[in-house]
Amino acid sequence: MTELSRLAELFKRGNALDEEIGALIGRPALMGHVREFIAARIFGIALEQSATRKAFDGRFTDGPLARKSVNINWYAKQEGVLDIRRDALPDYYLVLAGPKVPVSSSRCSSTLPCADPPHAGDLAAH
């Protein structure tokens, strides 16, 4: 099998997974939608109906932060970077991040979030 044939096979498998994820979360299987789905379930956030809202992704539903707006960010690695829009500030930022890693080349690395057993267990517990 050539490299291009193998790549096409992997894309087909990825597309099938994306369809399953999209059916589960009710939105396309993009990392932004996945992070919002996970954060909403763990932290009690009601997501905005439109995924294109400029300032925030949703609002907390309970507790002292009830009705406060929140922008959800997810970084595969802790690199000391936070994307903030000065023209559209929410009440709060919620940042999910993978492990802290030294700054290095991105060659041959993954930008996918980690699902190490400790992280997966923490998510499953909520």
Distances (CA, A) of 25 to 30, 31, 57: 10, 11, 15
Residue 67: pLDDT band by 50, 70, 90 thresholds?
very high
What average pLDDT score do residues 52-57 get?
Answer: 83
CA 107 to CA 102: how far, in whole Å?
14
> Helices 3-25 and 31-43 sit at what angle, rounded to 10 degrees?
40
* Phi, psi (rounded to 5 degrees) for 88: -155, 80
What average pLDDT score do residues 100-117 get?
Answer: 60
- Secondary structure element (H or E) that encloses residue 69, with its range: strand 69-75
Structure token digits, residue 107: 């060659």
pTM of the model: 0.73
Check residue 108 and give its pLDDT: 53
Residue 7: pLDDT band by 50, 70, 90 thresholds?
very high
- Secondary structure element (H or E) that encloses residue 92, with its range: strand 92-97
What average pLDDT score do residues 21-32 get?
Answer: 94
